[in-house]
Chain A
Amino acid sequence: SQTIHQWPATLVQPVGSPLSLECTVEGTSNPNLYWYRQAAGRGLQLLFYSVGIGQISSEVPQNLSASRPQDRQFILSSKKLLLSDSGFYLCAWSVDSNTEAFFGQGTRLTVV
């Protein structure tokens, strides 16, 4: 069966520090991968998606970047965190448009 792993679960980082969040999927090949952010009082915002290795699309201009170095690995990064980067980050995967999307357990990021 397929599983998705996301870590760390919580993270407190100072302003200006770098960020690396990792997401891996098991049990499937060539999944679509997604990074979402959920800020307090707001809905889930799609940040990045990837349909294959090295293929990244950005939805919202921001202080973040994403990479997909391997088929089932998706990384969210920042060189210098801002206070506004605080939020709940969720990784997700799907096979295609007609199948379910599955989410990881999320990373609570607090920038101080």
Chain B
Amino acid sequence: KQEVTQIPAALSVPEGENLVLNCSFTDSAIYNLQWFRQDPGKGLTSLLLIQSSQREQTSGRLNASLDKSSGRSTLYIAASQPGDSATYLCAVVYSGAGSYQLTFGKGTKLSVIP
């Protein structure tokens, strides 16, 4: 059974700081890994998708890396802003029971202090 862990559970940083969020997974036989953002009381917004054959993906100030063999991914946020405050979730897709299911970590709650 795939398990996804995100550390830390919560993180508070001053505005402008660069930061790294961590995600680890137990089964390296994944198809891809996806990072999401969730604002309080809202749905999930997809940030980045990394295919299993890729090492990293970039979008604006965000950079996600994937090391499938070690079961790890990181989300790097450059020059953090108060608007980045949200919960960040990582999820992996692996084939289970004939479909492609997302297995989520519990998230890292990020607070960027002005």
Chain A positions within 8 Å of B, measured between CB atoms, are 6, 32, 34, 42-44, 46, 49, 51, 57, 59, 88, 90, 92, 94, 96-106, 108
Contacts and interface: CB of A to CB of B under 8 A. Distances in A.
A101 B46 contact: yes
B43 A103 contact: yes
B46 A43 contact: no
Q: Is the interface of B mostly helix, strand, loop or mixed?
A: strand
Contacts of A102: 46
Interface of B: 4, 31-32, 34, 36, 41-46, 49, 51, 89, 91, 93, 95, 97-107
A88 to B, nearest CB: 8
Contact of B51 (A43, A90, A98): A98
Given A97-B31, A101-B34, A106-B42, A92 B51 contact: no
Contact of A108 (B41, B93, B103): B41
Given A32-B99, A104-B43, 20 more contacts: A32-B100, A34-B101, A43-B4, A44-B89, A44-B104, A49-B99, A51-B98, A51-B99, A57-B98, A57-B99, A88-B41, A94-B100, A96-B100, A97-B93, A97-B100, A100-B46, A101-B46, A101-B102, A102-B46, A103-B36
A112 B93 CA distance: 35
Q: Is the interface of A mostly helix, strand, loop or mixed?
A: strand
Contacts of A43: 4, 89, 104-107
A18 to B, nearest CB: 24
Given A43-B106, A44-B89, A97-B32, A103 B44 contact: yes
Nearest to B47: A100
Residue of B43, B46, B91, B105 with highest tally of chain A CB at under 10 A: B43
Nearest to B32: A98
